[in-house]
Structure 1
């Protein structure tokens, strides 16, 4: 895979392009996200995987003003300009859904459709506690035992590589993340190097201040909302019941997926998303 670079205010952001067809911008890690989608998906779309500053390489010292959500949105717009794309579909998964929505709000003229996958309405402390409580109330005993086993190993991971705390937490939270709670996602995160100061701010502060449901009502764009039945990271999916009354939102629940339906149910995922995009 060939990577190209963008320089944005002293941050080196990589991006790569896979496939042919209608452009889809996937914001997140350009190393991690290409591993989640099937090769068949790339037969239908030109998928642009773009780092944000939380995964970019800083060329100099930076401050909190350098990694606001607004700065990340401007990086996405700069990438669109460099790629000479008039309109595109924007896809955000998990916390990156907040970035995708923020971009659609700031630059609606360049967004044809919006894909939000496995995200919560907000990343507030209250919502995070709701998800933990849901796991305790509804997860199987086998799933809970696997989680307890894995999370006990997190401390030694952090001692070895504290700078990759986000990565190690994602791996050890596998029982919250996958339909197959025994799945080991370590290889998915190879060579992914987060900037923890930026990640902590975005997930802990910026995303906690957002409300995707309210923003959906304002953005007025066709929205695909994909949710995994076994995605305990952002559970429960009933938090999204209100979107059933928004005519331009298509909600799809993936019954045998956790946090990554594009990986766990690729055939059904591709079928649903391709059909929705081609509806016009």
Structure 2
């Protein structure tokens, strides 16, 4: 897999391309996300993994908040589309990146054929985050809760040793909230992934808290796939998405044996559902 680099307004963003066919633009980390999607999927589509500024290298010092607004992320995606000479794309956003994918689709509907939103809550507000924590405390098994207590106790030490990768450490130590197999250690998925914490803190803490995806899907009248994991306690409960059940252009799939990463946890079924939906007229 070959990595390429583009520069957007002082940020070096890497991207890599895997497979051939209809392009799916996957926004996030070009290092992390190729590890989650199956080889089988790349035999059906051209998967384009694109960094955003939270995972890119900044040549700007110091950065200002206007350097990493959601609008700036959207413009980076548009610049990438132009560089890659893509006309219509399917855009995919997983977790917090779903907010980026939806924002791009709203801003540039003429270049988006379909939208895939995976394992995200409709909003990242403090109220919703507390709702997810309460759901975990009420519904998680005793074994899952015990595993979480053991893992999260190590987070402070992780951050002290390597504060620049605080986001990565948190993702790893939240494994009991993230995976159907709550004993799974995701550390290898995050190897060599660097983060700009100033950007990530703003996007996840402020920008995404101001968005409501369940409302935005009504504004984009093209097919939207919403994929959710039954055991994804990070953005629980799946009932948060019941409001889109009657929206004709939205297809919602709940993966019964997945947490936050059904493309990794149930790859065959995930691929089957996604391929079927994309090829559906």
* Bin for the TM-score computed over the shorter chain: over 0.9
The TM-score, its normalising length taken from structure 2, stands at 0.99
**What CA deviation, in whole Å up to 9, does each residue of 1:9-63 have, x standing for no partner?**
1000000000010000000000000000011010000000000000000012121
Partner of 1:30: 30
- C-alpha displacement of 1:66: 0.4
The count of aligned residue pairs is 280
Could you say which residue in structure 1 is the equivalent of 2:19?
Answer: 19
What SS does the aligned partner of 1:245 have? coil
Deviations 1:174-232 (A, max 9, x none): 00000000000000000000100000000000000000011001111200000000000
- In the TM superposition, 1:224-243 aligns within 5 A as 224-243=225-244
Please give the alpha-carbon distance, in whole angstroms, between the structure 2 residues aligned to 1:189 and 1:158. Answer: 15
- Cα distance between partner residues in 2 of 1:243 and 1:236: 14
TM superposition score normalised by structure 1: 0.99
2:76 paired residue number: 75
Written as runs of structure 1 = structure 2, the 5 A alignment for 1:1-280 is 1-61=1-61, 62-280=63-281
Q: What is the aligned-residue RMSD (CA, Å)?
A: 0.5
User: Residue 272 of structure 1: SS of its match in structure 2?
Assistant: helix
Output the CA distance in 2 between the equivalents of 1:238 and 1:158: 33
**Which segments of structure 1 move beyond 6 Å, counting only runs of 4 or more?**
none
List per-residue Cα deviations over 1:135-171 (Å, max 9, x = no partner).
Answer: 0000000000000000000011001100000000000
Q: CA–CA distance in 2 between the matches of 1:99 and 1:88?
A: 14
- Structure 1 unaligned blocks of 5 or more: none
Gaps of 5+ in 2: none
